[in-house]
Amino acid sequence: MNVYLNLFFAAAANLARYRLRSIVVVVCLVAICGPFVTGIAISEGVRADAAISVQEGADLYLTLDHFGRNGPVPLRYLRDFRSSPHITAVVPRIVGRAIASVVWPANEQRMDPELVVILGLESGRMDLAPWAPQRASAGTLRSGEVVIGSALAAHFGLQPGQELRLRVADVTMPFRVAAIFPGHATIWSAQLVSMNLDEAGKLFELPGYASDFLIYCRLGPGNIQAVRKDTLSILGDIPYRLQTKTGEVASYVDKGFRDQQGVFTVFFLVAFAVGIPALLIASGLGLSERRREIGICKAVGWQTTDVMVMVMFEQVLLSLIAACLATLASYVWVRIFNGVLVAQFFISELGSIAAFPVPARFGFAPLALAGLLCLTITLSGGLYTTWRLAARPPAEGIR
Amino acid sequence: MAARGPTAGRGHPLRTPNDMTPAVRTHQVTRYYPAARSDPVKAVDCVDLELALGEMAVVCGPSASGKTTLLSLIAGLDRPGSGRVELFGRPLAEMSDAALTLLRRTHVGLLFRDFKLLPGLSAWENVALPLVPMGTPLRQRKRAAAGWLDRLGVAEVADRPPEQLSGGQQQHVALARALVNDPQLVLADEPTSQVDAASAETILATFEAMVAHGKTVIITTHDPTLVRSCPRRYHMIAGRLEHRPWSSTSIVFSRCSWPRWGSPWQVY
């Protein structure tokens, strides 16, 4: 163990002795791994945001402003929004709470009424909900039909075809259970009652209105901004609230992920293009000194394996330093320079400079990958050269 | 005598030498270097040499006569073209590179003519270089190196790199490195070429102390002080080694080059 410890410290001392060589190698490795780590980090960031975006649903959520709170949106604006070239879909939605109850025959036990969440969607757009029931006709609920959550169904002991009453203030309406959301649906759908938008409007006494509009924008940069302008022109003087989720980034995801393979190919090509000179530098810079040094070490009793282990420690140290610096440089690149020149490979139609903070995630994986890449480059270059030098008779090395 | 100090108790490729086994034996050793446009250069030509444990021999001769090559062959740094080199009764030709290296680590101390110190390392780190692959802890290495540097009178340069040392100081450091692993055989190539007379006396005393402890020392030199003090003297010329008794000193020196002392006739 002491031998390896000695060799490790000898390797560390060598890095300090050959400062120029160490610096040049580290700079080359950082040049290779910096973009690589940046790419990985941005890729991870985009992927995470994409997941969030998918969960969140629409890109924009439009409501009118009602005394500083969200107010209902008249459905008459639907046509205008849908005609916008920047919008792919607009889904009006009613979300509210109601009291659900069931009327049973007199001889059966009555269950207490339950507070439920009402979700009203346009007939035929139930498929937009990720918790859509597994029923062919679920996308087209007929008049008077609802789909209820599994917990609610269990509470009332309801089955498809039975009746459920919903009450909001003075309005009470009977509905027939068309289907029940599956048990593996999201947990908050358990108390949900989904119905047609028109009937939800009647229930809440707001016919011709929606709680909000779910706006799905076209892919590409600038579309969300364009939709904001469209909204302003459509609604005119009416104050409104347009809430942005992470859709702007998510809109780039598709192309971004499609480009990833190509990007990685580019990075690897760059890595090897720069790596070859790095290899030559790592193995060739100071080769004459190295040959003499190895010859002297062997002359005074160092085995070839001792020399190899010491050089391997050198390469490992260099790789670790380079990987850490590459990660640091990558962090600076993303956080300060917003991933310029790299983010465009992962986020489509971005241009060289992103208009929004480029998402990135720096975890252990980029660091480990960078270290592995550095180690592969340095070891493949350094070990063979060292072995070639160390396997010679010492007299040749010290001559 | 068994190895002591850092080498004690370590396995090595040789039998433990006894008093009857020659420390060094060469038989018809030849080493030619190929030349592009002429006949091969005879660096060492049919050299026979035998030294027992506890003997010191000095080899002198003009420059390029093959002295350094002979030491390289004895140390196993180079392989002879023909002939046989034995250290402590074991032929080097039968030993692998690893075994030869281990032999040098445990039994041989080498002092090179041009010192071959590693730049950037301090003097004590250079001295302790042979101890690194032996697993000697840092503190022990430093102590051993400091001990030898002190013994040779250059303790004050322990922390300085070779670039900041004079030629004489470098020679002392290189000698300390050759001796730090307590070798059975010391091969010193012109060990006093860069030092003054007083330092040469110190170095000679060191060698004599080693011989008194049963070590074997082979020195190549032009230094008449060293030659005078050594009972076994050899003269090497054009790769051939001749044993010269004390009475023929004048003849030996007449063929040597004298960079510092001038003509041997002036010395003697």
pTM for the model stands at 0.64
Tell me whether residue B238 is in a domain.
Answer: yes
Instruction: Report the half-sphere exposure of B210 (CA within 13 A, side-chain side).
Output: 33
Task: Please report whether residue B241 resides in a domain.
Answer: yes
CB contact under 8 A, A304 and B98: yes
pLDDT one-digit tens code per residue, B74-128: 999 999 999 999 999 999 999 998 999 999 999 999 999 999 999 989 999 999 9
- Do the domain assignments include residue B198? yes
Measured in angstroms, the CA of A220 and the nearest CA of chain B are apart by: 58
Domain count, chain B: 1
Distance CA B228, CA B62 (A): 17
At residue A367, the pLDDT reads 83
Overall average pLDDT of the A19-30 stretch: 86
pLDDT, tens only, B15-60: 455 556 889 999 999 999 888 777 888 889 999 999 999 999 999 9
DSSP string computed for A354-372: -SSPPP----HHHHHHHHH
Judge: A9–B138 Cβ closer than 8 Å, yes or no. yes
pLDDT score of B265: 37
Average pLDDT over residues A201-211: 91
Strand stretches in chain A, DSSP E: 60-66, 69-71, 73-74, 87-101, 114-121, 145-148, 163-168, 171-180, 192-196, 209-210, 212-217, 240-244
Residue A2 touches partner B, C-beta closer than 8 Å: yes
- Does residue A388 belong to the interface with chain B, where contact is any CB pair within 8 Å? no
Q: Examine residue B15 and state whether it is found in any structural domain, yes or no.
A: no
Q: Is the pLDDT of residue B150 over 50?
A: yes
Question: What ipTM does this complex have?
Answer: 0.83
Q: Do the domain assignments include residue B210?
A: yes
The residue among A67, A57, A68 whose CA lies nearest residue A95 is: A57
| Distance from C-alpha of A48 to C-alpha of A55, rounded to nearest angstrom | 11
The torsion of the CA quartet B53, B54, B55, B56, rounded to 10 degrees, works out to: 120
Residue written as token pair 């060492």:
B44
Q: For residue B108, what are the domain limits?
A: 24-117+183-266
Residue B52 in any domain: the answer is yes
Q: Is residue B137 part of a domain?
A: no
The pLDDT assigned to A251 comes to 47
Identify the CATH number of the domain in which residue B211 sits.
3.40.50.300
CA A193/CA A147 separation, integer angstroms: 6
CA distance B144 to B24: 27
- The pLDDT mean for chain B works out to 83
Chain A residue whose CA is closest to B117? A296
- A/B interface, count of CB pairs below 8 Å: 82
Distance CA A192, CA A153 (A): 10
Of B79, B97, B129, the CB nearest to A297: B129
